[in-house]
Amino acid sequence: MDTQHPPQGTIQDIRSIKRMMERSSRFISLSGWSGVAAGICALGGAYAAWSRLQEFRNNSGYRIEEGGEITTHVYNHLQLLRTDLVWIAAITFVAALISAFLFTWIRSRKNGTPIWDRTVQRLTWNTVLPMAVGGLFLLRSMELDYYNLVAPGCLVFYGLALVNASKYTLGEIRYLGYGQLILGIINLWQLSYGLYFWAAGFGILHIIYGIVMWYRHERASGTN
Amino acid sequence: MKNPIENLNKVFDSRIRLGVMSILVVNEEVSFNDLKKMMEVTDGNLASHLIHLEENGYIKVHKGFIGRKTNTTYSITKAGEKAFKEHIEALENMIRGVR
């Protein structure tokens, strides 16, 4: 190699240093399409939950927001509603996870970065930890009948997980985290609108984030 | 005026050695295989550059085992960190000088 570095070489050296530092410490193949796909799953799930709640209203004649006496008739419908909502949540979560994984997997293959190296392990651990703790917290809330806390709880813990994850992947995910946190905190004082906040955070914010990320990182490189 | 180029470290003339140093400066310990994947080079090529860096005292080699397979990992030394930092400062000064 030349010892008389021309400026061009210097700039290339700096670019290669930056690239190697990033590539070795952050997972850079997170795809914007993953965000869009997860957002669509969330909107689908929120719609299913909303329809199921309407059905419950019609069948039981009970208004959750207004409260009132819980008769045996209402109680039975409430039990069915709970089971169905848990199923809807579980299916939505799995569908979002699979579709998000799929697009990121495709992109990481195109980029030639391994899908399970140390950067991914660190990213996974730092995302899963706050989410798992949040999951337990919400499970206990449901046991204690604090169903109102589920939507804001999802938003807050997921937001914290994303802010934490931003150190280990493309940094912009931090703003998605801030958005979830803001929605979650407002939701804490507007408890009866949980489903709408949830749909806005997990559905709309994901889709916006996904499109922005695709535009910034993937459009130019042709890995869509 | 001092020639800015004389501060550039000759060891880092090679993009591969520069790349290895960039990776090790932000990661505590990296295995040979991970370095190979990130640098996209052949075993022999990478090995010779690693020996060069080790001989200069910029990196440390740890030989270990995962089961029966050898697992060689590398980490940066104090001297390596210092040399890398000085090299970056020299690059910075060159750019400043040009502009």
CA distance A160 to A177: 6
pLDDT class of B92 with cuts at 50, 70, 90: confident
DSSP bridge partners of B31: B73
pTM given for the model: 0.77
- Taking an 8 Å cut-off on Cβ atoms, the answer to whether A4 and B5 are in contact is yes
CA distance A3 to B10: 7
ipTM score of the complex?
0.78
Q: Span B10-98: which CATH code?
A: 1.10.10.10
Could you tell me if A122 and A24 are in contact, meaning their C-beta atoms sit under 8 angstroms apart?
Answer: no
CA–centroid distance for B99 within its chain: 28
DSSP bridge partners of B76: B59
CA–centroid distance for A164 within its chain: 13
A40 in a structural domain: yes
Give pLDDT, residue A223. 44
| pLDDT, one tens digit for every residue, chain A (224 residues) | 444 445 667 888 888 888 888 888 888 888 999 999 999 999 999 999 999 999 999 988 888 777 778 888 888 998 999 999 999 999 999 999 999 999 999 998 887 776 677 788 889 999 999 999 999 999 999 999 899 999 999 999 999 999 999 989 988 999 999 999 999 999 999 999 999 999 999 999 999 999 999 999 888 765 44
Could you tell me if B52 and B17 are in contact, meaning their C-beta atoms sit under 8 angstroms apart?
Answer: yes
A25 in a structural domain: no
Sign for the pseudo-dihedral over CA of A4, B7, B15, B61: positive
- B10-59 residue pLDDT tens: 888 888 999 999 999 988 888 898 888 888 889 999 999 999 999 999 99
B47-56, Cβ contacts within 8 angstroms, sequence gap of 24 or more: B49/B14, B49/B16, B49/B17, B49/B20, B50/B20, B50/B74, B52/B11, B52/B14, B52/B17, B53/B11, B53/B17, B53/B20, B53/B21, B53/B80, B56/B11, B56/B83
- Spans of all domains in chain B: 10-98
Could you tell me if B84 and B24 are in contact, meaning their C-beta atoms sit under 8 angstroms apart?
Answer: no
Interface of A with B (CB under 8 A): 1-5, 7, 10-11, 13-14, 16-18, 20-21, 23-25, 112, 114, 117-118
- Taking an 8 Å cut-off on Cβ atoms, the answer to whether B22 and A118 are in contact is no
Query: What's the domain range around A132?
Result: 32-218
Closest CA in chain B for residue A24: B23
- Taking an 8 Å cut-off on Cβ atoms, the answer to whether B91 and A114 are in contact is no
A19 in a structural domain: no
CA–centroid distance for A153 within its chain: 13
DSSP letters spanning B20-48? HHHHHHH-S-EEHHHHHHHHT--HHHHHH
Q: What SS3 state is found at B62?
A: strand
Could you tell me if A23 and B94 are in contact, meaning their C-beta atoms sit under 8 angstroms apart?
Answer: no
A85 in a structural domain: yes
- A63-106 residue pLDDT tens: 877 777 888 888 899 899 999 999 999 999 999 999 999 999 99
Could you tell me if B75 and B57 are in contact, meaning their C-beta atoms sit under 8 angstroms apart?
Answer: no
Q: How many domains does chain A have?
A: 1
Give pLDDT, residue A112. 75
A8 in a structural domain: no
Residue B68 pLDDT greater than 90, yes or no? no
- Taking an 8 Å cut-off on Cβ atoms, the answer to whether A20 and B38 are in contact is yes
Q: Which of B7, B74, B91 to mutate to test the interface with A (most CBs of A within 10 A)?
A: B91
Instruction: Quote the minimal CA–CA distance from B9 to chain A in Å.
Output: 9
Closest CA in chain B for residue A122: B27
